[in-house]
Structure 1
């Protein structure tokens, strides 16, 4: 009798013939297909804020391998159809999959004879359906995305979708730690749609940059190099290698008990 663990519960090969494993995938002889149980290389917060003429969105350029700040040049803001920006938080490999998916959709629409152009509202609807479908298949995409741009009436549009397919829209949004640290700062300047409609472009950019600085100081999975985009009727202004201004850890030397201080 075969006492090896892999043979438990199976008929003896020498009596009934070899076990038929043809139902398994040809490139996997060790078992059935498995799905990702948790993300490995991840990006942290994405933050965005509406103003009277458009939307400002920002994300740092760090992708962490667990707790290791491994990749420092990962751009997590992606431009689509020349009209919208999608900011990705969460798993980087799933972000790359969604990037390819949206690019193929962009090409398909560009060559369509219908004459339609994709806007932020279209993209958000598409992404929410994709995320919900993958969640229903018990194979979720481990991302939360923010979609910023203009809607069908050329008004500022900002909405989120997560790995469950849950959607939400507000004058200011943030993913990851930004939902706890940046949102209170953004809500001070745009607590509702009426306040956001009075906000100028300069005020919105300043609020987003200040929030990025707070995240750099408080979120261990963040970086001082970031991408920021401004979307208006005139187009998209995307900068991918911005550096936080007036930030320094020099003040730590003044903290009692820090380093080699003895007094």
Structure 2
């Protein structure tokens, strides 16, 4: 077979005239890094339920691009998830879980809601662990840390009084705890939550603790926002997610207003 010179002078073997090569069609595409990302998700067990909290900011690099992105999602009437990391991957996970729930409903033996057993939080957590690990093995991970909240389930499908709180990361590492935090919150908020946590906390105490941690993250994390959401799961009331609201902030701390270096500057270094 003879050699031919194409544009640019690179010697290549001549291809048959019937063969067409498309440069954009070859190879599999991979997400090599997250692009639009959300930061911390906090979770805590309290007396009678589980509560999650997150802000509504999704950043494009260092740009605070989307300020009303909701990262707390209701899976079914007794399970919640919240995720930090790539927002489009969270949407993909949410669509996957909703699709599974619809398939379970369509293939159920009964058309009545009270006869259908929804997936409990433990089942959703175990399923996500398998999904994350499978995607990691394909070298195409979902770039999220996902917190799952809800209640455990008996073999007959009845909901127990035992709350569940677990997390799965992008490579399939999974664990449970009484308090959890992802993103920058794992460094700043989690020690505060562990210090203040009690198993018999009331709902108001748990919410106040989460709001305090979100406020501190807003002060210290440049990818955080004071516009937040709170979500909870209780055995009687099911899964509920609040509308976004803004936290009160305080910027008159001495360290914020004192000129650095005492040289009469504007406070910068």
Corresponding position of 1:107: 102
Q: Distance in 1 between matches of 2:265 and 2:180?
A: 37
Q: Do the aligned partners of 2:56 and 2:228 also contact (CA within 8 Å) in 1?
A: yes
Corresponding position of 2:137: 136
Q: Distance in 2 between matches of 1:244 and 1:6?
A: 63
1:34 Cα deviation after fit: 2.0
Corresponding position of 1:151: 152
Q: Secondary structure at the match of 2:161?
A: coil
1:189 Cα deviation after fit: 2.0
Corresponding position of 1:44: 39
Q: Secondary structure at the match of 1:240?
A: coil
Change in Cα spacing, 1:142 to 1:6, as seen in structure 2 (3 Å) is farther
Q: Secondary structure at the match of 1:96?
A: helix
Corresponding position of 2:82: 87
Please give the per-residue CA displacement for 1:4-32, whole angstroms capped at 9, x wherever unaligned: 57955x4234xxx359466x6xxx63642
Q: Distance in 1 between matches of 2:56 and 2:93?
A: 18
Q: Distance in 2 between matches of 1:91 and 1:61?
A: 13
Q: Do the aligned partners of 1:109 and 1:118 also contact (CA within 8 Å) in 2?
A: no
TM-score, structure 1 normalization: 0.86
TM-score, structure 2 normalization: 0.84
Of 204, 228, 231, the match for 1:229: 231
Unmatched 5+ stretches in structure 1: none
1:60 Cα deviation after fit: 0.4
Q: Secondary structure at the match of 1:207?
A: helix
Q: Do the aligned partners of 1:128 and 1:165 also contact (CA within 8 Å) in 2?
A: yes
Change in Cα spacing, 1:255 to 1:6, as seen in structure 2 (3 Å) is farther
Q: CA RMSD in A?
A: 2.2
Q: Distance in 1 between matches of 2:195 and 2:81?
A: 24
Please give the per-residue CA displacement for 1:79-124, whole angstroms capped at 9, x wherever unaligned: 1111111001100111111111111112122333253211111111
Please give the per-residue CA displacement for 1:195-222, whole angstroms capped at 9, x wherever unaligned: 42x2222211111111001100000000
Change in Cα spacing, 1:239 to 1:32, as seen in structure 2 (3 Å) is same
